[in-house]
Structure 1
Amino acid sequence: MHLPRPIPLAAALAAALSSCAFANDSPTMLMPRVDVIGTANRLPDLAGTGQIIDSKELEGSRVFTVNEALRRVTGVNVRDEEGFGLRPNIGIRGLNPTRSTKVTLLEDGVPLAYAPYGDNASYYHPMVDRYERIEVLKGPGSLLFGPQTVGGTVNYITPAPPQEVGGYVQGALGNRDYANAKFNIGGHGLLLDYTRKQGNGSRDNMEHELDDLNVKYVMNLTRDQVLTLRGNYYTENSTVTYSGLTQAEFDRFGARYNPFKNDRFDIRRHGFSATHAIAVTEKAVLTTNLYYSHFDRDWWRQSSNSTDTQCGTGFRDSRLAGIAVDPDNCNSIQGRLREYDTWGIEPRLTVEHQ
């Protein structure tokens, strides 16, 4: 077992504090990407404050969702919604956490939001199983990485493809019909990762089915150039209601009560990105991200809150009185349908100097 032969680009990336990452157990391909922090020794020199959750900490703490992981970061407030961490509400330094709109979310430096320069709400968020490291940057240094950085920047780092062929299969079962299966195989600069997760949410009539497929390929173009290609396909089929509980419903039926069995929340997302790095000099690296994603969300629901009259005043009055209701008797339904195509190109020059 041996590490790849050093090339000028590898030396330049290391000198410029970019992303020349090698796995702990097996050699990996040089993988260009954009880090918001990089190695831990950069923390004292940041324009702000930052924290890194590395792979050892993620694995050792057995985090179930990204919410559990980010609660380990000082100054970050994360609010749960459905129990699966599908739509995290991340607030930094006291800002409103709703839909993480004041925080830029990145994956290997590529924007995660379906409209980062417009509607920054995080109705889509990958599973924490996809990542090996998380970087959180707060303060003025975040301005370098996106448009919605008033709170800060969270950058999720995916594993680099190995050189040697190998992989694993793992699974987990739990209560409330929870099941999590993962398949991972890679070698020669290619990595294929698939995760299937399903289970019941925190309330009745809330079921989730998630599929997450990721492919990554890294190639050396020349002695001074490396290219990373990434593709992913994500689907979610959930029954998620927007309505909470009235006090009478809570007192009579308990915290898990949810009569809206017909509400649906379906997501289809696919994305592609290419990251090219070239060593201009031994101390200067030009990294260019080109990315595209298509996001399609259908959210059909019968009630927007616990007291509206969408299904009639009798329906509302029954809920206020703590009387069980049948949504099949209500023909009214509201659709919140969204579809976005997002693309961008970002060149970034990193220079080491005195």
Structure 2
Amino acid sequence: MKSITRQFSWPLSLLAVAVALAQPTRAEERTEDETAKKEKVSLSATVIKGDVLGQATDEEVRTYAGSRSVVKREDLEKASVRGLDDALQRVPGVKVFDETGTGVLPQISVRGLYESRSGRVQVLSDGIPLSLSPYGQTSLSLFPQTLATVERIDIVRGGAAVQYGPNNVGGVINFISKPIPKKWENNLGERITFSPAGRQLYDSYLSTGGQVTDSLGLFFEYNTKNGHYDREHSDTDVENIRLRGQWDIDDNRSLSFGVQRYEADMDLAGALSKADYKHDRRDSTRQLDRFEGDTNRLWGTYKQYLGSLGFADDVEFSLTSFGHHSHRNFYVGLDSKSQFTPDADPAYLQDAPRSYQVWGIEPRVSFTLYGDKVNQTWLIGGRYVREDTQFKVLKKNLATSLESTVRDWDFDTEGKATYISNAISMLDGRLTVTPGIRHERVHMDYSNAVTGLKTENLNDEWLPGISAGYQLTDQWFLFGDAQRSLRVPQITSIVYDGEVGAEVAWNYEAGFRYTPQSNLRFDFNLYRIDFDDQIEYNSRTTKYENVGKTRHQGFETEIFWTPAIIPTLDLHAGYAYLDAEYRSGVNKGNDLKMASQSQLTVDGRWRFAQGWTYTLDGLFVSEAYSDEANTHDEDAAGKVGKLPSYWVWNTSLERKFKLNGGEDELSTSIGINNLFDYEYYFRGIDTSPWGRQPAPGRTVTVAANYRF
């Protein structure tokens, strides 16, 4: 892969404003679940802090005023987990369309909100946006995050829209990095995944870091993926390099920072025709399809505690800056009609290189006004983002070698967000009501070098929200929230001559968490999303279309139980029910495409002997339609047709060894994903939209990590 030097440019900022929701007292993160289980269930009074998401500790989750789930470190370390997207589909309401089994190009849908390359999910890494363009292209067609670098995943499905926007209709997913250790340590890790026909994928990890001085900590990570996934034409080469630091300047000031270089180059096996799928689902008929991308990223957050300033107490200020320079390209073979027919000989090679320069700055201040019976925590802040995107579509005639430029676009986007919230704490902190409002003003300029066309678009929206959390008793926590969400016009819809209007939605939630004892917790929430002017891609017309109003409603529930008679056994189950339908237009009353009505997940973890752990988990996803018309039968080209339901089981066995007097640790594991080799498929994805996209079959993974 080629190495490219990028220059980051940093603008001065626009101050702005933000929301604080009910959050618990700051607590040290527990490194082992067993510690939490030994503590009393009773919760202290809720205290608001500036960062809504926090560190996703058990206490933060239990007192969060919205639906929320966490994928913990021990779940990510299982050898049966192939990637971050694979881990996410164990969460109720999160559906993953697994294209490769590598996690390099995730296809994530939350609550039936589907779009290519996870375009309807707000994804963060330690609070920093991961999308190529936070406004203009929300999809993850370049995903600079790897499994080995993540400590846990925080999935917030509601209540965070005021502070974390835009594109948060389905919620926010935050990947939390491994912490910088207090004592210097090193890690050497290797995961090898074996697929049929002798294919292997190697996932290698190296890290070193700790406290350089009493106030400065550094952490370096190097992670690569090389080899093949379980299909023909699947060569994969990924490199992820990160350096992060934490400088505690003094008792009141700190600076966290990071720099990253990420590269990915992989062949894409693509979708198959119905006949080819039945003949050999591991084959590939799209030998020209390929993806490549790279990014340089830089970020930092300065925090300062100002104490009391006369008008308020507990005043805190933070300033976050981030930027990246990225490039990505998809190469696609097209037939003689310039279509994506999976079983036709290619006549053209099309590639779509895109270059992105993004920089942003986000200041924020929070303070508390204490009263006799009511406390108020205000949060005021905002964000300024600049995006510059160059988009081309080039096509080469394979017979004549003639090349033509189909598109040559330039996008210049300026996003200004301000937000403010007031967390009002009453009844000795047991009830917290947090009204807030966000204002988004986004100016987008487009120019077409081929036609000379120039257009501009201005979106100006007020996005109110309110949440409430009530600690009824030490066992019962009740919550509810309502918020308005926005997604501005996307680059992709514009280049396909599609709809360019903004999408807005109202989200509503109500639920509870019930913790009768330390070894049992039950979560339940109802939700509804009313979407106006939802825009979807029509694979038959290859255009984005406004499908009008849609409604998503349902419930999600989870139960966590460690039986008292078997304290080494942890059981978990989750279920999500979704009723998603079109509410206007010719397809009124039909189910939303790609939206499955039911999703069930069950898993168990048994710790036995000394250092041994066995896990078993299962996932059921019900059938779904793949087009707005709800066509049941699959057509000849595989553009439409009902997608089958599927049951997938995974298992793993782990063993940890304490070495060097307990100072060092060797972790070993073996896992099987798709234990029974269940055959199922999705509709074609993104650059291969027609036909059947085979889901990964059975794979066996062996893994080892040495910490010293």
Measured against the shorter chain, the TM-score band is 0.7 to 0.9
The reply to whether residue 228 of structure 1 matches residue 256 of structure 2 is yes
The reply to whether residue 319 of structure 1 matches residue 343 of structure 2 is yes
Contact 2:151–2:179 (Cα < 8 Å) also in 1: no
Give CA-to-partner distance per residue, 1:47-98, whole Å, 9 cap, x none. Answer: 3211122223323575221122112212111211122111212111221153
Q: Out of 96-105 and 131-140, give the one that drifted further.
A: 96-105
Counterpart residue type for residue 191 of structure 1: F
Aligned to 1:260: 286
TM-aligned CA distance change 1:350 to 1:59, over 3 Å: farther
Aligned to 1:247: 274
Contact 1:173–1:179 (Cα < 8 Å) also in 2: yes
TM-aligned CA distance change 1:164 to 1:99, over 3 Å: same
Contact 1:240–1:263 (Cα < 8 Å) also in 2: yes
Aligned to 2:69: 51
The reply to whether residue 178 of structure 1 matches residue 201 of structure 2 is yes
TM-aligned CA distance change 1:138 to 1:169, over 3 Å: same
TM-aligned CA distance change 1:299 to 1:44, over 3 Å: same
Query: Which protein is richer in helix relative to its size?
Result: 1
Structure 1 residue 269, shift from structure 2 partner: 0.7
Which of 322, 328, 349 in structure 2 is aligned with 1:291? 322
Q: Distance in 2 between matches of 1:18 and 1:127?
A: 31
Q: Distance in 1 between matches of 2:297 and 2:173?
A: 19
TM-aligned CA distance change 1:19 to 1:235, over 3 Å: farther
Give every structure 1 segment of 4 or more consecutive aligned residues whose post-TM-superposition deviation is greater than 6 Å. none
TM-aligned CA distance change 1:140 to 1:162, over 3 Å: closer
Write the mapping of 1:302-341 to structure 2, written as runs, cut at 5 A.
Answer: 302-303=333-334, 309-310=337-338, 319=343, 330=347, 332-341=348-357
Structure 1 residue 215, shift from structure 2 partner: 0.3
The reply to whether residue 73 of structure 1 matches residue 91 of structure 2 is yes
TM-aligned CA distance change 1:141 to 1:262, over 3 Å: closer
Counterpart residue type for residue 284 of structure 2: N
Q: Out of 270-279 and 82-91, give the one that drifted further.
A: 82-91
Structure 1 residue 308, shift from structure 2 partner: 6.3
Aligned to 1:272: 298
**Partner SS state of residue 260, structure 1:** coil
Aligned to 2:361: 345
Task: Count the aligned residue pairs.
Answer: 316
**Partner SS state of residue 248, structure 1:** helix
In our comparison, the structure showing a higher alpha carbon Rg is 2
Counterpart residue type for residue 250 of structure 1: Y
Q: Distance in 2 between matches of 1:292 and 1:142?
A: 22
TM-aligned CA distance change 1:165 to 1:120, over 3 Å: same
Structure 1 residue 264, shift from structure 2 partner: 2.7
CA RMSD in angstroms, aligned pairs only:
2.8
Structure 1 residue 161, shift from structure 2 partner: 1.4
Q: Out of 52-61 and 126-135, give the one that drifted further.
A: 52-61
**Partner SS state of residue 249, structure 2:** strand
TM-score between the two structures when normalised by the length of structure 2:
0.42
TM-aligned CA distance change 1:245 to 1:97, over 3 Å: same
Counterpart residue type for residue 164 of structure 2: F
Contact 2:114–2:120 (Cα < 8 Å) also in 1: yes
Give CA-to-partner distance per residue, 1:152-190, whole Å, 9 cap, x none. Answer: 000011122123222121212232221111101002201
TM-aligned CA distance change 1:259 to 1:308, over 3 Å: same
TM-aligned CA distance change 1:140 to 1:164, over 3 Å: closer
Write the mapping of 1:149-160 to structure 2, written as runs, cut at 5 A.
Answer: 149-160=168-179
Give CA-to-partner distance per residue, 1:74-127, whole Å, 9 cap, x none. Answer: 211121112211121211122115322111000010000011111111112211
Contact 1:88–1:100 (Cα < 8 Å) also in 2: yes
Name structure 1 gaps, 5 residues minimum.
Answer: 1-15, 26-32
Q: Distance in 2 between matches of 1:192 and 1:19?
A: 27
Name structure 2 gaps, 5 residues minimum.
Answer: 1-22, 33-49, 212-216, 308-312, 369-374, 376-424, 426-708
Structure 1 residue 40, shift from structure 2 partner: 2.3
Contact 1:234–1:270 (Cα < 8 Å) also in 2: yes
Counterpart residue type for residue 83 of structure 1: G
Aligned to 1:214: 242
Q: Out of 185-194 and 78-87, give the one that drifted further.
A: 78-87
Contact 2:200–2:229 (Cα < 8 Å) also in 1: no
Aligned to 1:11: none
Structure 1 residue 336, shift from structure 2 partner: 1.0
Aligned to 2:150: 131
Q: Distance in 1 between matches of 2:134 and 2:234?
A: 28
TM-aligned CA distance change 1:238 to 1:66, over 3 Å: same
Contact 2:24–2:59 (Cα < 8 Å) also in 1: no
Query: Which protein is richer in strand relative to its size?
Result: 2
Counterpart residue type for residue 222 of structure 2: Y
Which of 53, 72, 75 in structure 2 is aligned with 1:36? 53
**Partner SS state of residue 282, structure 2:** coil
Contact 2:288–2:349 (Cα < 8 Å) also in 1: no
TM-aligned CA distance change 1:139 to 1:129, over 3 Å: same
Structure 1 residue 256, shift from structure 2 partner: 1.9
Aligned to 1:9: none
Which of 92, 105, 111 in structure 1 is aligned with 2:110? 92
- Identity within the alignment, %: 24
Contact 2:292–2:330 (Cα < 8 Å) also in 1: yes
TM-aligned CA distance change 1:339 to 1:96, over 3 Å: same
The reply to whether residue 191 of structure 1 matches residue 219 of structure 2 is yes
Structure 1 residue 144, shift from structure 2 partner: 1.5
Contact 1:231–1:272 (Cα < 8 Å) also in 2: yes
TM-aligned CA distance change 1:99 to 1:147, over 3 Å: same
